[in-house]
Amino acid sequence: MSWIQLRLSANRESASALEDALMEIGAAAVTMEDGADQPVFEPGVGERPVWDSTRVTGLFSADADTDALLVALAASYTAPLPPLKVEILEDRDWIREWMDSYQPIQCGERLWICPSWREPTDANAVNLMLDPGLAFGTGTHPTTFLCLQWLDQQDLTGKTVIDYGCGSGILGIAALLLGAEKMIAVDNDPQALIATRDNAQRNNIAPERVECFLPTQIPENLSGDAVVANILAGPLLELAPQLAGYLAPATPICLSGILHTQGDLLSERYSEWFTDIDRAQREEWLRITGQRKAG
């Protein structure tokens, strides 16, 4: 079926009120989009990112009376309505279009990330078959790519890799396919742990090689041979002593989710526990790696 879209220009103050008004008059869905190419990289905890210039779109059934919708919206929204546009959204197979947008990605000499619904580009490569499902992590984002590239360069044979902030499990599963014996996945979202287990099964990884924990469930004696954490700069700063505590001397750590402007701060913080601090950059994002100091 087709849909009617009401698209309105809003600012940071009016976006939420417009969203409420659209829902009140019967919108099937309301979305907010950046209206001026203003990235929001790291919202605060519990904060929903809203841009200074925001496009608010309400979706309505095609048989709705457009004139009546506009009258109802004007009555529901207490201020004068901002500029708006009425559009017809033709019916499309959105799931198929989403699936078609993901292509296999080469992340090093050995490793490829391949959507589970596609054939691998190189059948002889290390192919991680991935269904992102409800969790973050497809390999397309620079931070994920940087971590995968680093894993591809490591000798992980027989090792235990801790994937802190695992999302879809892509990093820990890649480590297993590259030779690691075990992955320990940690995430504060239960859906991420479900996605991690599902993706491990999809890659024919035995369940006993994957352990999943919420942060509150982490065993006190947890340890690994490598840590990879692709989250955000704020949590990485707070977690530094905890992540360092999981590692023995001369074992590596890989951090990402870091903007290039945050590199000095993170490098200085982790230099208390790690040596050989190194950086790699992709677009505006950094990967920081190091080796655990003795003692």
127 is in an annotated binding site: no
230 is in an annotated binding site: yes
133 is in an annotated binding site: no
Nearest to 169 by CA among 150, 147, 142, 153: 147
Query: What is the C-alpha separation between 141 and 139, in angstroms, rounded?
Result: 6
Output the CA torsion sign for 227, 231, 237, 242.
Answer: negative
Cβ-Cβ contacts under 8 Å for 63 (sequence gap 6 or more):
none
The first and second tokens of residue 70, run together, are 């506009």
Query: What is the C-alpha separation between 167 and 194, in angstroms, rounded?
Result: 9
Cross-strand partners of 227: 162, 253
Query: What is the C-alpha separation between 228 and 84, in angstroms, rounded?
Result: 45
Could you give the 3-state DSSP secondary structure of residue 284?
coil
| Range list of β-strands (E), 135-188 | 160-164, 182-186
Report which secondary-structure segment, H or E, holds 153. none
The first and second tokens of residue 69, run together, are 């919708």
187 is in an annotated binding site: yes
Per the annotation, where are the binding residues for S-adenosyl-L-methionine?
A: 144, 165, 187, 230
Binding-site annotation: residue ranges: 144, 165, 187, 230
